[in-house]
Amino acid sequence: MVFFLFSQELLDKKDVRSGAKVADEESPDKNATPAANTTVSSSLSERISHLEQKHRIADDTPPQATIPQGGMALAGRVSSELVAGLIVGAGSGWVLDRWLDTSPLMLVVMFFLGAVAGMVNVWRAVSGRGMAAGYSDDYETRANKDSSE
């Protein structure tokens, strides 16, 4: 049941992109009902080409990775990104201190940089812009579009 919910969510997303949801819902029904079996052979090639069309993803446009904006998944991500940023920042600062013998300078600096990195990751998570480090070209254009809406 939970799977159903999630897959429905994915389907809904796909719907927004390619309008394929209706076809997705119909084709299993056709398979399942015996009445439709008579039409299978006649329209098989048609349906195969239809399916191929549906499943084809243009190679030149990499898909935009987004986390589902659904509540719990997002809430869990935000908190763990913040915590993980601090852990990695403070941890690497501590290791650098031991290595370079600069205690506590690197710990303090890296703690704050880690907090910043955690914040950056949170912002990436909630803005639905995928996980990419760095800034893609459509970053600003999309940000502008979002703010104008």
Partner 1 sequence: MHSPVEQFTIKVLFALNLFGYDVSFTNSSLFMVLTVLASIAFLALAIRPAALIPGRMQGLAEMLYEFVADMVRSNVGNEGRPYFPVIFTLFMFVLFSNLLGLIPYSYTTTSQIVVTFALALAIFVGVTLIALVKHGFHFFSFFVPSGAPKALIPFLVVIEVISYFVRPVSLSVRLFANMLAGHTMLKVFAGLAVMIASAGGVAAAGSVLPLIAIIGLTGLEVLVAVLQAYVFTILTCMYLNDALHLH
For partner 1, the binding residues (CB under 8 A) are 2-4, 6-7, 10, 13-14, 31-32, 55, 57, 59, 62-63, 65, 67-68, 72-73, 76-77, 80-81, 83-85, 87-89, 92, 110, 113-114, 116-118, 120-121, 130-137, 140
Rounded to the nearest whole angstrom, what is the least distance from the CB of residue 106 to partner 1 in the complex? 12
Nearest approach, Cβ of 103 to partner 1 (angstroms)? 19
Looking at the Cβ atoms of 43 and 66, the one nearer to partner 1 is 66
- Find out whether 94 and 107 touch, Cβ atoms under 8 Å: yes
Of 89 and 107, which has the nearer Cβ to partner 1? 89
Could you give the CA distance from residue 78 to residue 68 in angstroms, rounded to a whole number?
13
Identity of the residue, 57 or 101, whose beta carbon is nearer to partner 1 in the bound complex: 57
d(CA 2, CA 109): 43
Q: Tell me the closest approach of the beta carbon of residue 15 to partner 1, in angstroms.
A: 11
E strand or H helix at 50: helix 44-55
Which CB atom, from 47 or from 77, has the smaller least distance to partner 1? 77
- Tell me how far apart the alpha carbons of residues 84 and 120 are, in angstroms, rounded to a whole number: 12
Phi, psi (deg, nearest 5) at residue 66: -135, 145
CB of 89 to partner 1, least distance (A): 6
Q: Are 115 and 93 in contact (CB under 8 A)?
A: no
The C-alpha atoms of residue 47 and residue 42 are separated, in whole angstroms, by 10
User: Which residue's CB is nearer to partner 1, number 64 or number 103?
Assistant: 64
